Amino acid sequence: MGKRTTILLVLILALVVAGTVGYLAYMRPSPSYQNTPLVRKIGELELRLASAASSGRVLVRVLGNVTYGNFSTPMWVVTREPKEPVTCRCFLVGSIHGNEPAGVECLVRFVERLAADANLYPDVAFEIVPLANPWGWAHNRRGNGDGYDLNRDFSSFRTQETRLIGGFLKSKRYELAMDLHEDRGATGFYLYQYAEDDPAPAHALIAAQRANGVPIEQNASMVILKTHDGLIRAPMWTLWCVELVRKLSIGNYLRLENAPRVYTFETPSRLDIERRVGMHETALEHLLARE
């Protein structure tokens, strides 16, 4: 057995063990979550999306309802189909983790901008799920109402939220997809790039963030992957391994099923929310400017 084969087998075994531990750590239902008080109001978000839809430039529709006991709310998808010939189709998603609100605010503001300006990205078609975890966002909890981490469930689709999103994404194709997250342990911005040979767009984005005075994370890690000056590059074999242990994140899933270019942004939760929203806005604008 060659050295490379041995290393690969050890890595696969480590991922299987990590997947088992991760299942227990992240996928154990926590009924006590449902006793958490409300922190944010879904109705305010609904009004903003309805106001954007009234422009006629974006379409807001309901994928389905997310329900836990007395809590029931729609999950929305916002669509913008431009009048110009489409050169790029883009999917955006926020708040897979409910206690990461900056992505939601960024995407709702982005929807409002699309509604206000028909000439904004005139040849890009957008499909946007601004709030993927409504219960978690409303209660400021990472998981959904049953305590599941949605970002480990895009293989098994045990949860109502991932089933709604997965059903929507089935057979969809995009040129670009972006997933907006936050990291409570980070001190700076960083991003994941999935199975893409060219790191230049990601490096240019990091340079743009740094030019804006944004701190860049140097020490984030995910199992065996680590940041290199703010960038975590996930090779395709790592996605296959995560699929093998049935722990796909939405970023993993999008890269395997829907788009050749997929990025996950992470902003540091310890900073002011307006600054975090600004980091997400810079990331969106920078990558969309390349289209």
Q: So where are the chain's domains?
A: 3-288
pLDDT of residue 224: 86
* 220-223-228 Cα angle (round to 5): 35
- List, for residues 204-244, the tens digit of each pLDDT value: 999 999 999 999 999 998 878 999 999 999 999 999 989 99
pLDDT of residue 223: 78
Q: What gap in Å lies between CA 180 and CA 197, rounded to an integer?
A: 22
Both tokens of 142, joined, read: 């990472």
CB burial of 168-195 (b: ≥16 within 10 Å; e: otherwise) equals: ebeeeebbbbbbbbbbeebebbbbbbbb
pLDDT of residue 245: 87
If you write DSSP's letter for every residue of 185-244 in order, what string do you get? T-SSBEEEEES-S--HHHHHHHHHHHHTT--B-SS-EETTEE-BTTEEEE-HHHHHHHHH
| Phi, psi dihedrals of residue 93, rounded to the nearest 5° | -145, 140
Q: What gap in Å lies between CA 64 and CA 68, rounded to an integer?
A: 13
**Residue 16 pLDDT more than 70?**
no
Q: What gap in Å lies between CA 67 and CA 64, rounded to an integer?
A: 10
Q: Do 205 and 191 form a contact (C-beta atoms < 8 A)?
A: yes
Q: Which of 158, 159, 113 is nearest to 133 (CA)?
A: 159
Both tokens of 155, joined, read: 């293989």
Q: What gap in Å lies between CA 58 and CA 82, rounded to an integer?
A: 9
- List, for residues 161-214, the tens digit of each pLDDT value: 999 999 999 999 999 999 999 999 999 999 999 999 999 999 999 999 999 999
CATH superfamily of 3-288: Zn peptidases (3.40.630.10)
Helix (H) or strand (E) holding 273: helix 273-288
* 277-278-281 Cα angle (round to 5): 90
